[in-house]
A and B are shown apart, each in its own frame.
Chain A
Amino acid sequence: MAKLSLMFENKLVKEVPIGNRPVTIGRSPDNDLPVDNLAVSNHHARVYYEGSRLVVEDLDSLNGTFVNDLRVERATLHDGDSIWIGKHHIKVDATADSVIPWDSGRKAAAPKINETMVLDTKARRDMLQQAAAMGERSQFSPGRLKMPTLVVLGGRVDQKEYVLTNKLTVIGRSPMATVRLRGWFKPQVAAQINQRDDGYYLGTGAKIPLVNGSPIQGPTRLNDGDLIEVSGIRMNFIFRE
Chain B
Amino acid sequence: MQIVSSGVTDVGRVRTNNEDSFRIVEPLSLFVLSDGMGGEAHGEIASTMTVETIEKYCSKMDESKEDADATLQGTVADSWSPRTKRLQDAVFQANLNIFQSAQKHPEQRGMGATVTAGWINGSKLSIAHVGDSRAYLLRTGGLQQLTNDHSLVAEQVRRGILTPQQAEESDMQSVLLRALGAHPEVEVDVDEIDLLPGDVLLFCSDGLTRMVTEPEIAGKLQSETDPATAAQKLVDFANERGGLDNVTVIVARIQEESKGWFSWLRRDSGKKV
Q: Does B172 contact A (CB under 8 A)?
A: yes
A117 contacts B141, CB within 8 Å? no
- How many Å from the CB of A198 to the closest CB on chain B? 5
Residues of B within 8 A of A108 (CB): 14
Cα separation A174 to B123 with both chains bound (whole Å): 12
A98 at the interface (CB under 8 A from B): no
Q: Which residues of A contact B14 (CB under 8 A)?
A: 105-106, 108-109
* Complex CA distance for A135 and B193, rounded to whole angstroms: 34
Q: Is the C-beta of A139 less than 8 angstroms from some C-beta in chain B? A: yes
Specify which of B39, B162, B171 is in contact with A69 (CB 8 Å cutoff).
Answer: B171
B193 and A168 within 8 A (CB): yes
Residues in A neighbouring B160, C-beta threshold 8 A: 135, 137-140, 198
Query: What residues of chain B lie closer than 8 Å to A138, measured between beta carbons?
Result: 159-161
Residues of A within 8 A of B193 (CB): 167-168
A138 nearest CB neighbor, chain B only: B160
A131 contacts B161, C-beta separation under 8 Å: yes
Partner-binding segment picked from A12-20, A27-35, A187-195, A233-241: A187-195
B154-178 interface code vs A (CB 8 A; 1 in, 0 out): 1111111111100100011111111
**A-side contacts of B173, CB under 8 Å:** 112-114
A192/B144 in contact, CB under 8 A: yes
Cα of A198 to Cα of B193 in the assembled complex, Å: 21
- Is B140 close to A, CB under 8 A? yes
The interface-forming segment of A41-49, A152-160, A200-208 is A200-208
Any chain B CB within 8 A of the CB of A149?
no
Once bound together, how far apart are the Cα atoms of A204 and B215, in whole Å?
A: 14
Contact present for B175 and A131 (CB under 8 Å): no
Q: Is the CB of B242 within 8 A of A135?
A: no
Q: Are A68 and B16 in contact (CB under 8 A)?
A: no
Q: Evaluate contact between A68 and B196: CB separation under 8 angstroms.
A: no
Query: By the criterion CB–CB under 8 Å, are B37 and A106 in contact?
Result: no
| Contact A113 to B164, CB < 8 A, known contacts A103-B39, A167-B146 | no
Q: Is the CB of B176 within 8 A of A194?
A: no
Beyond A103-B39, A106-B15, A138-B161, whether A118 also contacts B171 by CB under 8 A is no
Interface residues of A in 3-62 (CB under 8 A from B): 53
Q: Which of B164, B178, B179 contacts A197 (CB 8 A)?
A: B164
A contact residues, range: 35 or more
**Quick check: is B118 within 8 A (CB to CB) of the other chain?**
no
Chain A positions 134 through 171: 1 when the CB is less than 8 Å from some CB of chain B, otherwise 0 = 11111110000000000000000000000000111010
A120 contact set on B, CB distance < 8 A: 182
Query: Considering the chains assembled together, what is the distance between the CA atoms of A136 and B54 in angstroms?
Result: 42
**Set of chain A residues within 8 Å of B142, measured between Cβ atoms:** 192, 194, 203-205, 219
Q: Count residues of B near A (Cβ-Cβ below 8 Å).
A: 53
A218 and B215 contact, CB distance less than 8 A: yes
B163 touches A198 (CB 8 A): yes
- The distance from the CB of B122 to the nearest CB of chain A, in whole angstroms, is 11
How far apart are B145's CB and chain A's nearest CB, in angstroms? 6
Instruction: Establish whether residues A117 and B156, one from each chain, have CB atoms under 8 Å apart when the complex forms.
Output: no
Instruction: Say if the beta carbon of B194 comes within 8 Å of chain A.
Output: yes
Contacts of B17 in A (CB 8 A): 103
In chain B, positions 18-36 with a C-beta closer than 8 Å to chain A are 35
Q: How far is the CA of A204 from the CA of B143 in the complex (A)?
A: 10
Q: Does B149 make an interface contact (CB < 8 A)? A: yes
A76 within 8 A of B: yes
B218 → A minimal CB distance (Å): 9
B residues less than 8 Å from A132 (CB atoms): 159, 161
Q: Which of B112, B156, B210 is in CB contact (< 8 Å) with A135?
A: B156
**Does A79 interact with chain B (Cβ within 8 Å)?**
no
User: Min CB distance, A65 to chain B, in Å?
Assistant: 16
Partner among B123, B139, B210 whose Cβ is within 8 Å of the Cβ of A189: B139
Complex: how many Å from CA A203 to CA B141? 9
Which residues of the partner chain B approach A136 to less than 8 Å between Cβ atoms?
Answer: 161
Q: A114-B171, A174-B196, A197-B164 are in contact. Are A139 and B139 (CB under 8 A)?
A: no
Chain A residues with a Cβ under 8 A of chain B: 53, 68-70, 76, 102-103, 105-106, 108-120, 124, 127-128, 131-132, 134-140, 166-168, 170, 174, 176, 188-189, 192, 194, 196-198, 203-206, 218-219
Q: List 29 A-B contacts (CB under 8 A).
A: A53-B39, A68-B171, A70-B175, A76-B39, A105-B15, A109-B245, A115-B37, A116-B112, A118-B176, A118-B177, A119-B152, A131-B152, A131-B156, A136-B161, A137-B160, A138-B160, A139-B160, A167-B193, A170-B194, A176-B123, A176-B196, A189-B196, A192-B139, A192-B140, A194-B144, A197-B148, A203-B144, A204-B141, A205-B139
Contacts from B to A (Cβ < 8 Å): 14-17, 35, 37, 39-40, 112, 123, 137, 139-146, 148-149, 152, 154-164, 167, 171-179, 182, 191, 193-194, 196, 210, 215, 242, 244-245
